[in-house]
């Protein structure tokens, strides 16, 4: 089961949990499993094109955009981190 780290702004959807375990062979499948447990979470992370522009999802230390995106393979003990993009200037 993969562990998904949830950023503070989204913890209202997870009952305050900062980490959630979910099954799935790909990032997409893990997010689908999270959505089943915590409705509304997936809408905050994805849009019709894929991962929202101001959201980053990491598998370990790698941004999934530089891997296979939502089709990136996930092994049972992998850690996914949802990181909101920070804008500044």
Give the pLDDT confidence of 10-21 residue by residue, as tens digits: 999 999 999 999
Q: Which pLDDT does position 88 carry in this prediction?
A: 62
pTM of the model: 0.92
Q: Which pLDDT does position 76 carry in this prediction?
A: 84
By residue range, what is the domain housing residue 72? 2-84
How far is it, in rounded angstroms, from Cα 73 to Cα 89?
35
For 47-63, what is each residue's pLDDT tens digit? 999 999 999 999 999 99
Residue 86 pLDDT level (bands cut at 50, 70, 90): confident
Q: Which pLDDT does position 89 carry in this prediction?
A: 59
How far is it, in rounded angstroms, from Cα 89 to Cα 82?
23
In a domain, 56, yes or no: yes
In a domain, 41, yes or no: yes
* C-beta atoms surrounding 81 within 10 Å: 17
Give the number of domains in the chain: 1
Are 40 and 25 contacting, i.e. CB atoms less than 8 angstroms apart? no
In a domain, 89, yes or no: no
Report the CATH number that the domain containing residue 58 is assigned in CATH: 3.10.20.30
């Amino acid at each position: 089961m993969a562990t998904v780290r949830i950023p503070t702004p989204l913890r209202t959807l997870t009952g305050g949990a900062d980490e959630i375990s979910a099954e799935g062979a790909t990032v997409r499948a893990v997010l689908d499993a999270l959505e089943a447990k915590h409705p509304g979470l997936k809408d905050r992370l994805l849009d019709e094109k894929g991962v929202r522009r101001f959201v980053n999802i990491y598998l370990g230390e790698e941004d999934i955009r530089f891997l296979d995106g939502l089709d990136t393979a996930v092994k049972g003990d992998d850690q996914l981190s949802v990181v909101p993009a920070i804008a500044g200037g």
